Amino acid sequence: MAFDDEWSRIRTETTTTRLDHPDAQRLTAVMTRLHRLLTLTGPGGLTDAQVAALCGVAKPDREEFTAWLGALNDQLRKATA
C-alpha cells in the first residue's frame, strides 16, 4: 500500500487526537532529523535495511517514503508556527 493511501486510511479511520504544541514541535524535530537521514548518501544515512524496518515492508519505496515524510513534516511545522 502506498504511504499516501495509508495516511488517508488512517485519517479516515481514527478519531481526532489532540497533540500539544510542545509535543508537535518535538515531533517535527524528530521528523526533520529522520528526513535528513533518509536523504543522506553514504555511511551517515540510513541503509535500505533500516528504511525497510521503519516502513515495515521488505522493499519500501524510499523516495515515496522520504517525500511523504517531508510533506507531513512541512504540514505539521506550519500548523505549529
- Within 13 Å, how many C-alpha atoms sit on residue 29's CB side? 6
* Tens digit of each residue's pLDDT (9 = 90 or more) over 22-78: 999 999 999 999 999 999 988 999 999 999 999 999 999 999 999 999 999 999 999
Q: 68 with 3: CB under 8 angstroms?
A: yes
Query: Does pTM top 0.75 for this prediction?
Result: no
Is residue 70 classed as helix, strand or coil in its secondary structure? Answer: helix
**pLDDT exceeds 70 at position 2:** no
For the chain, the domains span: 46-80
Higher confidence at residue 20 or residue 3?
A: 20
